[in-house]
Structure 1
Amino acid sequence: MEIRTIHANGVEFAYLALGVGPLALCLHGFPDTAHTWRHLMPELAERGYRAVAPFMRGYAPTEVPADGAYEGGALVADVLALHEELGGDENAVVIGHDWGALPVYGTTERFRRSVALAVPPIDALLTGFFGYEQLKRSFYIFLFQTGLAETAASAPGFLDALWADWSPGYDAAQDLEFVRQSIGSPENLAAAIGYYRAMLGATPPSGRFPDPPKASEPVLYLHGQRDGCLGADLAKDVTTFLPDGSRAEVVADAGHFLHLERPREVGQLVLDWIGAAP
């Protein structure tokens, strides 16, 4: 898949694309890249979709946004703009993992079907986030609020260890090489950390974007049973925080990067939910 570019919401986005048909927008998280969808994109294309995986704002080769905005409203605005610029219509679908899941909840009205992986909606996340075990898992979020964040995250082995903790037993060598290419430079790493600084207020909001709305249409939510980033207990009652008709599945023997660890099973769950392209 070749890398292409498109201008949306004031940012020059790079993206991977495969297939012809209605848009299937695939959004990655941290520390990851558009290549994370390399197993799912061919399956989407076979079902008649045009699968598009952008590198999220600040992740090279997408540019670092001039506005420095990384709050949730900016991510939602990116997705809405990408939908429009990429020719999305009423048959478009969206799939997001980790940080890519958060704008999914705020854009369900624009897509025929929506899928979120590994990060539940904020209200569900807060029900267990401050438990002791989860706070230990989330140490990096608090580290990223400090001036030591870039130094720590760029230290040899730091990102490798996150992947190993979050998806135990998964060989992430190829993924980590993609990550180094994408956020290996100081400015791109600072951008990736910027999402977390905006999340807890270490960086004030830009004021340019409204807060993301809650999901208004059904969502399929998937979570790995052995997720070392966000414990699977956070997925237990997730549908109570989602619109009627939503579904949640915990994928056995999978961690945080469940779509890479169990690509066939996760791919089938996604495809069953979205169906073939109309």
Structure 2
Amino acid sequence: MTEPRWLDVSTPDVTLKALSWGPDDAPIALCLHGFPDTAHGWRKVAPRLVDAGWRVVAPFLRGYAPSTTSTDDSYHVGALMDDALRVLETAGATGRDVVIGHDWGAIAGAGLAAMPESPFTKAVIMSVPPAGTFRPLRGLPDPARLAARLPRQLLRSWYITYFQLPWLPARSASWVVPRLWRQWSPSYDASEDVALVMDAIGAPENWRAALGYYRATMRGSAPPPRYADLHRYWLARLRVPTLYLHGADDGCASAEYTHWVKPALPEGSAAQIVSGAGHFMQLDQPDRVARSIVEFLGDPAG
């Protein structure tokens, strides 16, 4: 397979760079990465999707070089959704396109899949349960079982609380990034990916942007008006058929959350736990992940 091409996307707030694999006239599989990762994290799955008839377009999220940081200082989910829609438009929407999101990309992808008139026919959400799964809390199945998971999840999510502290987190990229890769995908040799991540968010202004995702969400700050309409959908129930994937060995969030995600998905959806996979399943189990995605999406030609 040839090397990916570069796609430039200009918005009023950021300039985005995206990698593109496959023919320009094929339906688009828009792949959104998370933290701490980059668009290069799709490099093992992309060839398999292209072989199945898709064009893979994977942007570097705002703040992740070579994409720029936000002039609005907005790292809200609504901003990520807006960026994704602009990438789709620039790449050339076909009406048969799908969104595939991992981690923060999963959060944005879930918001895009919850839009009343989503431009995507299907979605694949990986490693992070859609927020709408747990809204409202009343009526969730097995509430005691869910509550029992919370203490361990709080320990796993130590970094989220740490990122809210003043000045100290800003000096922590060099040890936080490799530690999270070891903790989240313990059986995967992440040396190449950690280097790619440090190239993208190792500089102070980029690391500050990466922290901004967690600060904007945890502090509940309002997004700029240009993103407000989209932002409200990230907490809503999904509307398009969705495949939810979670790695059995994920050290970030337990695969057991799939128990609550599955009944909350719309008709035509599915949920799978990928054996032998950690948080970064698209890298440590690319064949299994790609096979599940291709089977769920079906023929891109319709």
| Match status 1:135 vs 2:154 | yes
- Match for residue 127 of structure 2 among 105, 118, 124: 118
Q: Distance in 2 between matches of 1:62 and 1:221?
A: 28
Q: Which runs of 4+ in 1 moved over 6 A?
A: none
Alignment CA distance shift 1:119-1:177 (3 Å): same
Alignment CA distance shift 1:229-1:152 (3 Å): farther
Q: Distance in 1 between matches of 2:57 and 2:246?
A: 22
Do the aligned partners of 2:30 and 2:58 also contact (CA within 8 Å) in 1?
Answer: yes
Give the Å deviation of 1:100: 0.2
1:229 paired residue number: 252
Q: Distance in 1 between matches of 2:182 and 2:240?
A: 34
Deviates more, 1:236-245 or 1:159-168: 236-245
Give the Å deviation of 1:157: 2.7
Deviates more, 1:235-244 or 1:95-104: 235-244
Alignment CA distance shift 1:89-1:195 (3 Å): same
Output the TM-score relative to the length of structure 2: 0.86
Q: Distance in 1 between matches of 2:167 and 2:267?
A: 43
| Match status 1:185 vs 2:208 | no
Q: Distance in 2 between matches of 1:9 and 1:115?
A: 28
Q: Please give the secondary structure, in 2, of the residue aligned with 1:212.
A: helix
Q: Please give the secondary structure, in 2, of the residue aligned with 1:79.
A: helix
Q: Distance in 1 between matches of 2:193 and 2:53?
A: 27
Deviates more, 1:232-241 or 1:19-28: 232-241
Do the aligned partners of 1:27 and 1:34 also contact (CA within 8 Å) in 2?
Answer: yes
| Match status 1:97 vs 2:102 | yes
1:212 paired residue number: 232
- Match for residue 7 of structure 2 among 4, 7, 11: 4
Give the Å deviation of 1:274: 1.1
Give the Å deviation of 1:276: 2.9
Q: Which amino acid in structure 1 is aligned with residue 9 of structure 2?
A: I
- 1:51-130 equivalence runs, <5 A: 51-108=56-113, 109-124=118-133, 128=146
1:163 paired residue number: 181
Q: Please give the secondary structure, in 1, of the residue aligned with 2:96.
A: coil
Give CA deviations for 1:70-100 in whole Å, capped at 9, x if unaligned.
1111111112222212111211111110000
Q: Which amino acid in structure 1 is aligned with residue 100 of structure 2?
A: I
> Which ranges of structure 2 fall in alignment gaps of 5 or more residues?
138-145
Q: Distance in 1 between matches of 2:168 and 2:100?
A: 29
- Match for residue 19 of structure 2 among 3, 13, 16: 16
Q: Distance in 2 between matches of 1:86 and 1:47?
A: 19
Give the Å deviation of 1:234: 1.4
1:254 paired residue number: 277
Q: Distance in 1 between matches of 2:70 and 2:77?
A: 14
Give CA deviations for 1:121-173 in whole Å, capped at 9, x if unaligned.
1143687587100000001011111214534532x432111100001121001
Q: Which amino acid in structure 2 is aligned with residue 116 of structure 1?
A: I
Q: Which amino acid in structure 2 is aligned with residue 254 of structure 1?
A: A
- Match for residue 241 of structure 1 among 264, 267, 274: 264
Q: Which amino acid in structure 1 is aligned with residue 275 of structure 2?
A: A
Give the Å deviation of 1:9: 5.6
Give the Å deviation of 1:236: 1.5
Alignment CA distance shift 1:34-1:149 (3 Å): farther
Give CA deviations for 1:33-55 in whole Å, capped at 9, x if unaligned.
00000011111211222111100
Q: Distance in 2 between matches of 1:245 and 1:12?
A: 36
Deviates more, 1:215-224 or 1:201-210: 201-210
Give the Å deviation of 1:204: 4.7
Over the aligned positions, Cα root-mean-square deviation in angstroms equals: 1.9
Give the Å deviation of 1:2: 4.0
Output the TM-score relative to the length of structure 1: 0.93
Give the Å deviation of 1:206: 2.8
Q: Which amino acid in structure 1 is aligned with residue 262 of structure 2?
A: T
Q: Please give the secondary structure, in 2, of the residue aligned with 1:237.
A: helix
Alignment CA distance shift 1:150-1:204 (3 Å): farther
